[in-house]
Every structure is written in C-alpha cells, then in structure tokens.
Amino acid sequence: MPTSTIRIFKNKQVGKNASITPGTPVYLGKVGPDARFWMDASWAGSGAIKIVQRICDTPEGTYYQPSTAVATTIVASMAAGRNRFSASLVGSEWFKPRVVEKNIATGTIDLTMIIRY
C-alpha cells in the first residue's frame, strides 16, 4: 500500500496556555474508505499537549469538529517524547489539527501526518 507524509509543524513553539493551528489547511485529497491516517508527534516540553482534529470540505470553509461518530481528539494528553496516534479523518478533504498546551508550560512540537492508501 502506498503512503504519503505531510509535515504540519517543525520545531513549532507552543506557549503557556496556548493553542496553535497551521496557517494553511492540510489537503488530504480524495481518499477512499480504506485509507488509514496517523499523526507522528514529537513534543519537547515540561508540560503535556492535546491534539484535536478539525475538518472541512473546502480550504476556505469554516473548520469544525467532526461529528461524535468520529473521534475529535487524536490524543487527550501527551507528555514529552515521540508517539504515533491514529486519526479518523475519512469523509473530509481538508484538515487542520489543533495543538493545545495543557499544563502551563512551554515547548516545541514536530507533527507529521501519515496516510496509507
């Protein structure tokens, strides 16, 4: 199965009580129902982060949390380190992750999406 990788953040600073999203949305393309999505996250900070997904049908649209049928949170709490998390994104062509700092700390995030078709 072919895979694609999309770099979302590279050494992006996350401040105290802050949240960040990419400046431009991530284009997922027309993926089939068998596609699998992962987020590779590397967090270097003293607190923890939360990663939330937001989707839309067009790049200019209003990004919204997916319905409750699809998990809106990719990871509820991630301490410093590197992890891979699955994401349920089928049904949308555009994606904006949101990284939320949770513990009044600062750090940097590297975030990459992996899609297997």
CATH topology for the 3-116 domain: Jelly Rolls (2.60.120)
Q: State pLDDT tens for residues 7-54.
A: 999 999 988 888 888 888 888 777 766 778 889 999 998 889 999 887
- Cβ neighbours, 10 Å, residue 87: 21
The residue whose two tokens read 């949170």 is 73
Residue 94 contacts residue 72 (beta carbons within 8 Å): no
Domain ranges of the chain: 3-116
pTM above 0.75, yes or no: yes
Burial class of residue 70 in the structure, from the number of CB atoms within 10 Å of its CB (0-12 exposed, 13-18 middle, 19+ buried): middle
* DSSP, residue by residue, 17-49: T-EE--SSPEE--S--TT-EEEEEEEEEESS-E
Assess whether pLDDT exceeds 70 at residue 69.
no
